[in-house]
Amino acid sequence: MRRGRRRSRGRRRSRGRRRSRGRRRSRGRRRSRGRRGSRGRRGSRGRSERPLQGVGGNRATCLTSVRSPGAGVSSPGRPGPAGSDTAALAQLPPQPPPPSRAQTSPGPASGAAPNRRLGSVRGVSVPQSPPGHRARLSAPGTSRLSSAAREELRRRLLGLIEGHRVVIFSKSYCPHSARVKELFSSLGVDCNILELDQVDDGASVQEVLSEITNQRTVPSIFVSKVHVGGCDRTFQAHQSGLLQKLLEEDPAYDYDLIVIGGGSGGLSCAQEAAVLGRRVMVLDDVVPSPQGTSWGLGGTCVNVGCIPKKLMHQAALLGQALTDSRKFGWEYNQQVKHNWETMTEAIQNHIGSLTRGYRRALREKAVALVNSCGEFVEHHKIKATNGKGQETYYTAAKFVIATGERPRYLGIQGDKEYCITSDDLFSLPYCPGATLVVGASPAALECAGFLAGLGLEVTVMVRSQLLRGFDQEMAEKVGSSMQQLGVRFLRKFVPVEVQQLEKGSPGKLKVVAQSTEGTEMIEGLYNTVSFCRVSGGRMNTTGKIPVNDVEQSSVPYVYAVGDVAEGKPELTPVAVQAGKLLARRLFGGRLEKCDYINAPTVVFTPLEYGCCGYAEEKAVEVYRKENLEVYHTLFWPLEWTVARRDSNTCYAKIICSKFDNDRVIGFHILGPKAGEITQGFAAAMKCGLTKQLLDDTIGIHPTCAEVFTTLEITKSSGLDITQKGC
């Protein structure tokens, strides 16, 4: 114990000595480099960043209490040598010809909210310069600063730093400055930025700044009056969590984070933020469907999406397995029929247990849950209205909107009165009978698929494409496979009116539909008409919140994840991942962004379609056809041979980028268990899967997935891919 202490003292002493020697040496080196003017070598490592200093008045105070070794924050530095102005300036890149502000300021990441320029900050005597004019911080004629002018400028700079939460001294063309601005922007932090190349006295400011901080380069960042350092130190401080501590949220807010929407994305973000020690509230409110269906916590996925859909898909697959089983020797005499009520009751019981689990998880993580509808009323403030109309107001430093999507009615006569949506289907208390499914989104085809699999008569009415946004060759094959099962497609028609002919559970409805290509009208009789989401799985842009690549909206402290975020895949794991990573970036010092391109997905039609990466059309658009090689084949699952199912329905395709080592940029499979298969290949794609790696992989025989290890025929060769049998 004693030895240990002594050793550490010794270590401390010698480290201290080493450090100061090192500092002296490196300073010397820096100076001489500066003199030589070796600008090119000044990478980020060579940048003269000084450790954290607190600034107050004329003081440069130590900030030992928030020091963190991980942040690379060393002992506080002393103010730099006064009068080292010329040496310091010699190290900085020459100023480019004075550009116009709008052109040169790199600003935050695209789509990010703009940070404040100092020229417009209240209480600071820096007027916003009109174009062509430059602001001054020092009195005119002080470029060779007199001591009085220097003192005055120093006073003003310190005032600036003390008066603002984040101050960045930057140069508009400096890439390091741009990175730092982007970081603060992604954290939703409003910064005050002084572009030293855009104010007349930028050189004098830099000179005095270097006296205060002992850092001669830009960017130079102050957070809560503390000098964090330059670009590298700011990123280190972010990584260690020190930056977040300095930015510590205003205790005047009720919460650090309020999440609006208790679905996949919202819950994941809220729980992660709570794990990171934040005060978090979730608002969740479910507006009942026009048919009166409502549900509990957990959002779409668990209540009216993935979970009940997959379980009903399974119910349908079991029916198919029963048919196949006779070919495998199973003999049974009883009449086999399906009971809708038994199925829905069992599924709803399971859903009940899941939602109770979500509530428990929130309680355990001390996340406040309020069953109310959230609505912004002013900056940082929302109104929460509960089911009884009672209103409560809450404030937070940051907000995440995760309100998801709902199926949409068309607004035609009779739709809300007589039709249901997928929100009602999974808990429908009676078997829907002959059903018209309107739409061709994944959800629509999946519902049509399991209803047909349960033995019902199903028609799908499609305005234009199947599975818009997906690979269209695959989409058409999905359609054909459903037709083989008896699903009827009415292509290029839209319903224009629904009439109720008979009441009942189910009743009888007449649907009038019009061609999208002409004036042709058709009529059909159904027991149930169901609308689904317009999109799903792939990108959708209607009625969404535009966000940048860090899920930030146009209001810097408001973010959006999940289905409500514009142009993102509408998938549960995507919402979950985006929410979790967002919380980590905001509160955990992490920088990872959600990868929206390589999000694998599966359409759970009776024959499943799994994909990851680019659709062929999109790949051609991005890479050009001549730069791609597409390998494909039809295949016959072994299980289907004895069952005498079609030998040319299942299909596998990969799209490879020729100029990137034949990297697999698109993966597509139509076949049994495509979901399970696609997941593994998606992981391989994340690791940079190439055609050669697939060829080198030993297959698992006899499986469907092994087909990807033996793909030989390119689409461009035009060779026959049909299967001739065993």
Count of all residues that appear for the chain in the document: 726
Q: Rule CB under 6 A: which residues touch ligand FAD?
A: 260-266, 283-286, 299-301, 305-306, 309, 373-374, 402-404, 422, 443, 533, 536, 562-564, 570-573, 575, 604
Query: Based on CB atoms, which residue is closest to ligand FAD, 219 or 305?
Result: 305
Tokens found for residue 243: 């930056």
Cα 298 to chain centroid distance, Å, stands at 19
- Least separation in angstroms between residue 544's CB and ligand FAD is 11
CA angle 258, 262, 266 (to 5 degrees): 60
Sequence-separated (6 or more) residues with CB below 8 Å from residue 356 = none
CA-to-CA distance for 334 and 652, rounded, in angstroms?
A: 38
Tokens found for residue 421: 């949506």
Sign of the CA dihedral running 7, 8, 12, 15: positive
Whether 701 is catalytic is yes
- Least separation in angstroms between residue 595's CB and ligand FAD is 15
Q: Checking DSSP bridges between strand 663-670 and strand 116-117, what pairing results, if any?
A: unpaired
- Least separation in angstroms between residue 216's CB and ligand FAD is 47
Query: Based on CB atoms, which residue is closest to ligand FAD, 674 or 694?
Result: 674
Nearest one of 114, 95, 175 to 548, comparing CA atoms: 114
Q: Is 363 helix (H, G, I), strand (E, B) or coil?
A: helix
- Least separation in angstroms between residue 310's CB and ligand FAD is 6
Phi–psi pair at 336, nearest 5 degrees:
-95, 125
Query: Based on CB atoms, which residue is closest to ligand FAD, 443 or 630?
Result: 443
Amino acid at 635: F
To 10 degrees, what angle do helices 340-364 and 306-327 make? 140
Q: Checking DSSP bridges between strand 609-613 and strand 488-491, what pairing results, if any?
A: unpaired
Amino acid at 568: K
Name the region of 562 (left: φ>0; alpha: ψ -120 to 50; beta: rest).
left
CA-to-CA distance for 420 and 433, rounded, in angstroms?
A: 13
Cis peptide before 219 (omega within 30 of 0): yes
645-654 burial: b if 16+ Cβ within 10 Å, else e? bebebbbbbb
CA angle 511, 514, 520 (to 5 degrees): 120
H or E stretch covering 207 = helix 202-213
- Least separation in angstroms between residue 437's CB and ligand FAD is 11
Catalytic annotation, pick one of 133, 338, 350, 701: 701
Cα 636 to chain centroid distance, Å, stands at 37
- Least separation in angstroms between residue 296's CB and ligand FAD is 9
- Least separation in angstroms between residue 484's CB and ligand FAD is 22
Cis peptide before 702 (omega within 30 of 0): yes
Sequence-separated (6 or more) residues with CB below 8 Å from residue 389 = none
| Upper half-sphere CA count for residue 501 (Cβ side, 13 Å) | 13
Q: Checking DSSP bridges between strand 220-223 and strand 226-229, what pairing results, if any?
A: antiparallel
Q: Checking DSSP bridges between strand 280-283 and strand 255-260, what pairing results, if any?
A: parallel
Name the region of 151 (left: φ>0; alpha: ψ -120 to 50; beta: rest).
alpha
- Least separation in angstroms between residue 380's CB and ligand FAD is 17
| Upper half-sphere CA count for residue 458 (Cβ side, 13 Å) | 27
Are the CB atoms for 283 and 262 separated by under 8 Å?
yes
Query: Based on CB atoms, which residue is closest to ligand FAD, 127 or 387?
Result: 387
CA-to-CA distance for 270 and 175, rounded, in angstroms?
A: 34
Query: Based on CB atoms, which residue is closest to ligand FAD, 471 or 570?
Result: 570
Q: Is 241 helix (H, G, I), strand (E, B) or coil?
A: coil
- Least separation in angstroms between residue 292's CB and ligand FAD is 15
- Least separation in angstroms between residue 396's CB and ligand FAD is 14
- Least separation in angstroms between residue 667's CB and ligand FAD is 17
CA-to-CA distance for 451 and 529, rounded, in angstroms?
A: 12
- Least separation in angstroms between residue 582's CB and ligand FAD is 12
Query: Based on CB atoms, which residue is closest to ligand FAD, 32 or 294?
Result: 294
H or E stretch covering 222 = strand 220-223
Sequence-separated (6 or more) residues with CB below 8 Å from residue 410 = 438, 494, 495, 531
Phi–psi pair at 376, nearest 5 degrees:
-70, 135
Cα 101 to chain centroid distance, Å, stands at 32
Active site residues: 701
